[in-house]
Amino acid sequence: GENVEQHPSTLSVQEGDSAVIKCTYSDSASNYFPWYKQELGKRPQLIIDIRSNVGEKKDQRIAVTLNKTAKHFSLHITETQPEDSAVYFCAAVFTGGGNKLTFGTGTQLKVEL
């Protein structure tokens, strides 16, 4: 089955700085990679996603890059704000195999004033 590793587990940045979270997946058949933001006690919220036929996608301050050869994908948040503080999860899924999400272990992002 799929295995997703995520680093770092915690990340502290100053407000206005950039934050980068990296994930590695094991199953070369995975073709859809969503990123979720989860605040304490709340549901995961989809913030951006990328499909395997695209190398990069950007939405305002958030961008995701995908390297299919290396099986790496990364989340980039620029101009971080205190409200970006949360736990971020990457995930990988093979949409032709039941669409089961395999989540990474999560990154606790803290944006300090």
Partner 1 sequence: GAVVSQHPSWVICKSGTSVKIECRSLDFQATTMFWYRQFPKQSLMLMATSNEGSKATYEQGVEKDKFLINHASLTLSTLTVTSAHPEDSSFYICSARRAPATDTQYFGPGTRLTVL
- Residue 73 CB, shortest distance to partner 1, in Å, is 15
45 touches partner 1 (CB under 8 A):
yes
Residue placing its CB nearer to partner 1 in the complex, 36 or 74: 36
Number of residues that bind partner 1 (CB under 8 A): 22
Q: Is residue 53 a contact residue for partner 1 (CB under 8 A)?
A: no
- Which span sits near partner 1 by CB under 8 A: 12-20, 45-53, 59-67, 70-78? 45-53
Residues in the chain: 113
CA distances from 13 to 9, 17, 47, 95, 107 (A): 13, 6, 19, 34, 13
Tokens of 55: 């190398």
Q: Using the rule CB under 8 A, which residue among 28, 39, 100, 112 binds partner 1? A: 100
Sign of CA dihedral 46, 23, 100, 27: positive
Residue 14 has phi, psi (to 5 degrees) of -85, 145
89 belongs to the binding site for partner 1 (CB under 8 A) = yes
Q: Choose between 45 and 81: whose C-beta lies nearer to partner 1.
A: 45
Question: Rounded CA gap, 69 and 101, in Å?
Answer: 20
Binding of residue 93 to partner 1 (CB under 8 A) = yes
